[in-house]
Amino acid sequence: MSEHKKKKTGSIAIPFLVTIFIGLILVGSAAFFIYQKVRVKEKTPSKPSPRSVDISVSPEDSHTVLFIYDDPETGKASTTFLLMRSVPYKKEILFIGIPSNAICYSETEKAQVVLKEAYERGGAPAAVSFVEQILDFKFEHYMVLNKSSFMSICDFFGGSVDYPVDIDFNTFTGDGSIQKLGSADIIKYLTYSKFSGGEADRAFKTASLMCEMVNGTSGAYIAENIDTKFSQISSSVSISNITDKLYNKYSGAVKYMFTFGIDPELGKSIAFPWKMDGTNDGKYFIPSTNVRENIPEEYFGEPKE
């Protein structure tokens, strides 16, 4: 009797255990399937909702800066003056080299004044006043660069430029062929004091070379890194009235101009040089009385959308 009961109990227990085992497998499989679905959903980030980018650039973002290269290593004779007129809403920059021997009548001093001498007596503000009088255009911002800060700017714009070299210096031949100039070479070229066309020629080459440098860079790269680079350059410049507040005022428009204005592969440029009208009498450069009238209207004229 006892053996019969054990046998019966065993026959019932085995199917019961198999049923439970199969049930656990089915439930476990379902749970695992659900878990995998949830985990995949958690791991897969949802697509970000599209952001609307509102870039507002207007004629009021236009600005003017007089850059002055003045370094003891190259001497006062090689002081270089370059005016930059930036018009972001048109995605254009005009560079005007101002001959250091330019002369004009000063109402303040009641005498003929030479730019380089005015700068040596009164510093950057005096140079700004001089250029204002020549161009009949008011502006106030300036930055005086030494060798270190100028090379820093050059390095930011690629560190070199391909330019037709027309003087013999270092390893370069002055046959007018396109040659690659590094930062130090650019300084030696632009501070050369014996160009055939005198200071007017040197001034225009300064504007022309800087245009080639700006246009040859990646606009997107400049826009992405200009905040950091401005901070580095401004900290190395001892003489300037361009403050962080002023930079922040125009930085958005400047980034817009570089981002959408430059593409070397497509031939898109933003920088253009302009040669100042005037007469070179050997010792002095006499600007024309109608200099401002001959500058393209879109740079200094009334804003037109």
pLDDT at residue 287, as a whole number:
93
Q: Which domain holds residue 197?
A: 59-300
The mean-pLDDT minimum among 3-12, 198-207, 264-273, 282-291 falls in 3-12
Write down the pTM of the prediction: 0.79
Phi and psi torsions of 226, nearest 5°: -65, -30
pLDDT at residue 47, as a whole number:
40
In a domain, residue 30? The reply is: no
pLDDT at residue 52, as a whole number:
38
Strand ranges, E, within 115-247: 141-145, 160-164, 178-182, 239-240
In a domain, residue 21? The reply is: no
pLDDT at residue 1, as a whole number:
46
Average pLDDT over residues 100-125: 91
Count up the domains in the chain and report the number: 1
Closest CA to 95 of 109, 80, 82: 82
In a domain, residue 164? The reply is: yes
Other beta carbons within 10 angstroms of residue 1's beta carbon come to: 5
pLDDT at residue 302, as a whole number:
62
Residues 6+ apart with CB under 8 A from 136: 291, 292
Q: 47 or 143, which is more confident?
A: 143
In a domain, residue 31? The reply is: no
In a domain, residue 15? The reply is: no
Residue linked to tokens 């817009």: 256
**What is the CATH number for 84?**
3.40.630.190
**pLDDT tens by residue, 126-180:** 999 999 999 989 999 999 999 999 999 999 999 999 999 999 888 898 899 999 9
206 burial level (CB within 10 Å; 0-12, 13-18, 19+)? buried
In a domain, residue 2? The reply is: no
In a domain, residue 43? The reply is: no
Strand ranges, E, within the chain: 63-69, 80-87, 92-98, 103-106, 111-114, 141-145, 160-164, 178-182, 239-240, 271-274, 278-280, 285-287
